[in-house]
Structure 1
């Protein structure tokens, strides 16, 4: 775990409650297997080309929906909402696919520098959620859907 990730007492308590429910339903051994399976399948390797393509299409379509955008304008519009949606896509794709910034840029018709800049910008916005509440909420929703989708792919 990163040092920058803070775990609040509330989050730990919530985790404890959920774990106890899962253990109650599945038993300890199956819960451990489930968690190990999830841990092993939280990202895709570049070698899994078809899965990466599928995940990329999923993230883009979900981003368009979550940010309430027009699909035809997604790649080209310079309106803030479109830039933020693309930024969220770059960031989430980089986290879960381990694709290079250049590869992600190819998908969006952008240069490596643009993708790198927006991934850094995204991390900055996420680090102060109280100032960027709307963006953070949309990013978190996209992240949640992405994790659920990856779980179904494996």
Structure 2
């Protein structure tokens, strides 16, 4: 029978696995990076640019899309992938809506709308299971990428 919610024993097992793989010093460094600095400042422009490229490439892969149509397609899967990108970029960087929009050739208003729509979707995951599942994979990949950048 599968557990519905992880507990502290699951956390301890995961930490032990991490220590076994990376060693104590690196594990502490990773945890500190994730807990204290899982966000990039827009002053780290090169890191933010790398993150934008990474998020886009991962969303194309996770949502199973074609790269040439990523920015322009009106098919729901493409719109969902872009929405997830906007949300993650805003969440993990201090970049403005307008700057995020520039990366996607979208207006500030479109990015804001999609950010809030994604936030609403994530607040009721049982109604949007396919999207939420893909979003969680994408977010986990982004957090791991940021930890490596820092």
TM > 0.5 fold call: yes
Aligned to 1:124: 120
Match of 1:83 among 71, 74, 79: 79
In the TM superposition, what whole-angstrom CA distance separates every residue of 1:56-78 from its partner, at most 9, and x where no partner exists?
A: 00100110111111111111111
Flag the 1:153–1:134 CA change in 2: closer, same or farther, 3 A.
Answer: same
Alignment partners' CA distance in 2, 1:106 and 1:31: 36
Aligned to 2:49: 53
Deviation at 1:53, TM superposition (A): 0.4
Deviation at 1:16, TM superposition (A): 3.2
Query: Are 1:42 and 2:38 an aligned pair?
Result: yes
Flag the 1:112–1:30 CA change in 2: closer, same or farther, 3 A.
Answer: closer
The secondary structure found in structure 2 opposite 1:136 is helix
Where does the alignment leave 5 or more consecutive residues of structure 2 unmatched? none
| Structure 1 runs of 4+ with >6 Å offset | none
Where does the alignment leave 5 or more consecutive residues of structure 1 unmatched? 1-7
- Work out the number of aligned pairs and report it: 146
Aligned to 2:140: 144
Alignment partners' CA distance in 1, 2:135 and 2:36: 23
Q: What root-mean-square deviation, in Å, do the aligned CA atoms of Structure 1 and Structure 2 show?
A: 2.1
Query: Are 1:108 and 2:86 an aligned pair?
Result: no
The secondary structure found in structure 2 opposite 1:78 is coil
